[in-house]
Structure 1
Amino acid sequence: MGTKPVIIALDLENKSQAEELLKHFGKEKLFVKVGMELFYREGKPVLDMLKASGHQIFLDLKLHDIPTTVKRAMQQLASFDIDIVNVHAFGGQKMMEAALEGLYAGTPADKERARIVAVTQLTSTTNEQVVSEQQLSFSLHESVINLAGITKKSGLDGVVCSAGESVSLKRIYGNDIYCVTPGIRLQEDAADDQARIVTPQKAAANQTDAIVVGRGITQKKDPLAAYLTYKKEWENAWMHQQQQ
């Protein structure tokens, strides 16, 4: 997979909408995210369609259940041709270890296992929610750091977090913790329902490994042009980082 991908979130209702959107990209080989809405409606055939077109896939289902259930579910997902899959870190260390076991067990012998990451705090979550709803005695940022530590101890490859947090995670846990960050917007784009958003340039400065972009690309009149704009800003920012 590309080392620093721009992942397009296919937050769409069905396979037909996905196929229609992808027409805008011609023969461009993409990295796309398939979430709950699209996967629950279409299942494996939508993944097969994407792979047949040469795209890489982040299957975003955020598994969160008892360890045995997650292990068995992950073993099923591992048989699909996907590149990144995830769980929710709130499931705890035993659940995440079980997920990794299931991923290894289900991956065909001739395939490399998918990268597995854990969601920490959703990018729609605010510090106020962490205090009033989750009733934590520490901040949202500290919660993300704690959950990332449990994830790393569990043997997973990395986390899904805000790009505002990735720089702290790299400093604390090292560069090998893979950070996937949604909530990415260009300066002129609307925040929508994301609470913790950053630009591609800022995400690169914070050492994020992969950014996820949805409406900033998929809702534009020219999705390919929007994608190339994000990609250019992201790649230029990373090039600048390496030159420093």
Structure 2
Amino acid sequence: MKPLDPRDRLIIALDVADRAAAEKLVEAIGDAAVFYKIGMELAYSDGGLALAPRLAGAGKKVFLDLKLHDIPNTVERATAQVARLGATFLTVHAYPQTMQAAVAGANGSELSILGVTVLTSFDDEDLIEAGYRFGVVETVRRRAEQARALGVQGLVASAAEAGPVREALGPDMILVTPGIRPAGGDVGDQKRVATPGRAIRDGADYLVVGRPIVQAADPRAAALRIVAEIAAATP
């Protein structure tokens, strides 16, 4: 994968209630960022999903964080529909059947599939409570290996697992890390977080940042600070 410009490596999560708020935020940030995530809150609002082709048409990149997970036929057909929206990334839960179906649905398009390994709000105790056999590190490792074998283009994993995942999979798979918090920032409901610089040094390609930018008094300035930290940490 060719080197990425620091500005391209920041994905701003449009975690807002409606399309109007999202468009206002994008306008305020301006050319400080080029990559935006549309998650479930915005996607399910009136006109939220329709924002994806609008952003793509304006030269922005779009990450649809829909975390698909259903029977294979449904996932494949839904992915094929998403591929028409002009998005760059789509997330699915990293279960083998789901990933395989999503890869089939995206075949022939420019859409890249990202497997979500373990949500950043989970820790070992949460996984055991939910009935999993393994803790976070082992679950992420197994799902990463399955994703690679199935032809999935990339993974979503917390920065806490970025180093081991990158070491195991090599340089070619895309690694996207959420749960990014600037030094001293509020962790909120996240349990596995890291600073932008730490995540980049540990092998992340893209960083997803929501609240530290979205809730900032000056979102553009907040985005520029994170881009600068990415640049400083980039080899």
Deviation at 1:65, TM superposition (A): 0.5
Check the 8 A contact 1:93/1:153 in 2, yes or no.
no
- Deviations 1:89-143 (CA, angstroms, capped at 9, x unpaired): 1xx32331121111115x3xxxxx122110000001011111222342x321111
Indicate if the aligned counterparts of 1:29 and 1:54 stay in contact, CA closer than 8 A.
no
Matched, 1:117 2:114: yes
Residues 43 and 187 of structure 1: is their aligned pair in 2 closer, same or farther, counting only changes over 3 Å? closer
For residue 170 of structure 2, what is the aligned residue in structure 1?
A: 174
Instruction: Please state if 1:12 is matched with 2:24.
Output: no
Deviation sequence 1:44-96 (CA, Å, 0-9, x none): 4211332233211000001101111100000111111111111101xx32331
CA distance in 2, matches of 1:151, 1:194: 24
User: What is the CA–CA distance in structure 1 between the aligned matches of 2:228 and 2:33, rounded to whole Å?
Assistant: 15
State the partner residue of 1:110.
none
CA contact (8 A) 1:183 1:197 kept: yes
The residue that corresponds to 1:33 in the other structure is 37
User: Would the aligned equivalents of 1:94 and 1:154 in 2 still touch at CA under 8 Å?
Assistant: no
In the alignment, the residues of structure 2 paired with residue 135 and residue 85 of structure 1 have an alpha-carbon distance, to the nearest angstrom, of 25
* TM-score, structure 2 as length reference: 0.93
Count of paired positions: 230
Aligned to 2:226: 230
Matched residues in 2 for 1:11 and 1:87: separation? 18
Matches within 5 A, 1:183-222: 183-222=179-218
RMSD: 1.6
Q: Letter of the 1:234 partner, please give it.
A: I
Alpha-carbon shift at residue 29 of structure 1 (Å):
4.8
Which ranges of structure 2 fall in alignment gaps of 5 or more residues? none
Structure 1 residue 20 displacement after superposition: 1.5
* Aligned residues with identical type, % of pairs: 38
In the alignment, does 2:89 pair up with 1:93? no
- 1:43 deviation in Å? 4.4
SS at match of 2:24: helix
Which segments of 5 or more consecutive residues in structure 1 lack a partner in the other structure? 108-112
